[in-house]
Amino acid sequence: MNRINAVKILMQHVPKDALVISVNGYISREVFSSFDRAGNFYMLGSMGMGLPIALGLAYAIKKRKIVVLDGDGNLLMNMGSLSTVARLHPRNLVHIVLDNEAYESTGGQPSSSRYVDLKKVAEVCGYEFAARAETVAELEKYSRKIFLARGPIFLLVKIREVASPSGRINIKPEEIVRRFKKNTTGWLNERI
């Protein structure tokens, strides 16, 4: 499985009203090129912050699914946030990690995810459901399930094939925010 195919399969199953956070590097670029929508927030920097941003959203808007398209390098940079998932236990969180065991956008240096079973880590951090997808068939099977089930949900997607990345994100940060905010207006919980 390569990254762009994984992104396409997942994004096709994401509910229309879900909010999606994609992390910096190639993952945001793939999402932008294949499935741009107003409810997407593209991280450009702030590596490690995909999950925290999603936790903030999940806290403020409980009626919509909050999806994070995370990477192994990103998650490893801030694994402490997994403990915050355990603490807050957001029912609407779907956390997907595209794991290529490398820092690909900086030249393919190895990450340490090959030494750690991230699915097991998620299981002990209070996720309701955690799974690993190695093949396209498995990813399709889980994609049909994870956006319907009660969260927090964790899906580890192993990316074994290297494919050339999509082009850069050509909308400005303020435009990303403007579109996204318009999409969240009126959805706040009555009392938080």
Partner 1 sequence: MNAARVYSLLKRKNTVFLSVPCSRFKELLAILEKKREVIYCSNEEEVLGMGAGLALCSKTPIALIQNSGLGKMLNVYFSLNKLYGLPLLFIISWRGKGKDAPEHFYIGKKTPMLLRAAGIEFRELGYDEQKVMKNVNYAFSKLKRGESFALLLDKGMIS
Judged by CB under 8 A, which of 56, 108, 136, 144 binds partner 1? 56
Question: By C-alpha distance, which of 53, 125, 130, 128 is closest to 83?
Answer: 125
> Does residue 105 interact with partner 1 by CB under 8 A?
no
Smallest gap from residue 53 Cβ to partner 1 (A): 4
Judged by CB under 8 A, which of 33, 37, 59, 129 binds partner 1? 59
Smallest gap from residue 133 Cβ to partner 1 (A): 26
Instruction: Report the chain's terminal Cα–Cα distance, integer Å.
Output: 41
Smallest gap from residue 125 Cβ to partner 1 (A): 11
Question: Which residue matches tokens 């459901």?
Answer: 129
Per-position b or e across 100-116, b if 16+ CB within 10 A of its CB: bbbbbeeeeeebebeee
Residue 17 vs residues 14, 35, 111, 183: alpha-carbon distances, Å: 8, 14, 33, 9
Site string for partner 1, 108-137 (x = CB under 8 A): ------------------------------
> Does residue 103 interact with partner 1 by CB under 8 A?
no
Smallest gap from residue 70 Cβ to partner 1 (A): 12
What is d(CA 73, CA 20) in angstroms, rounded to the nearest whole number? 19
Residue 106 vs residues 28, 75, 102, 169: alpha-carbon distances, Å: 15, 16, 9, 17
Interface residues with partner 1 (CB under 8 A) are 21, 41, 43-46, 48-49, 51-61, 78, 80-81, 83-84, 87-88, 173-174, 176-177, 180-181, 184-185, 187-188, 192
